[in-house]
Amino acid sequence: MRRLASVSVLLISVFTSHSLLADCAAILQHEMPALRSKDTVDLCERYAGKPLLIVNTASFCGFTPQFKGLEAVYQRYRGQGLEILGVPSNDFKQEAAEVEKVADVCYVNYGVTFAMTDPQKITGVNAHPLYRQLTDAAGQAPGWNFHKYLIDREGQVVGNFASQVAPDDPALVKAIELAL
């Protein structure tokens, strides 16, 4: 009897996981290690059905103060469903080598409360699969730190914003509001 119950639980788990993946856009079918944590960020589990702004970040870049603006946008729109995912990267040689330092910049210096991942490759042949998909969908790879991709509730890339576009830029805000 105990064995039958275990098999039933396993089958339910498999079918539930399959159903969740079927309801999750392909671009979100990734997991990434969370910054300074043993946890992972399961994009399907956390972001399916929600508008999502994905931003590659760096601790020692002229655009690093955009963390403050990103946090303000997150606080303004998270009640309406907006999520933000920060993905640190050293692809442009401006990220700290130590994960602890990356976390300090995000969490201590800028008070970031949205999800952050461990540093990832975001460009070239070794780019994380998420970033390869974002590049393909938008037709543009990040050219520098703080490049932003906006994904709508259906998992479609609906915006692609260069580093120079501040988080409070009217074009980005309008795109976010449309995605909500």
Is 61 among the residues known to form the active site?
yes
Q: How far is CA 87 from CA 54, 69, 78, 80, 90, in A?
A: 7, 16, 18, 22, 10
- Determine the 3-state secondary structure of 117 from DSSP: strand
Whether the CB-CB separation of 35 and 117 falls below 8 Å is answered with yes
Contact partners, residue 137, CB within 8 Å, separation at least 6: 27, 156, 157
In this structure, what token pair is assigned to residue 87? 């993905």
The catalytic residue among 24, 44, 61, 106 is 61
Pairing of strands 52-57, 40-42: unpaired
Strand (E) or helix (H) holding 171: helix 170-179
Which residues are catalytically annotated?
A: 61
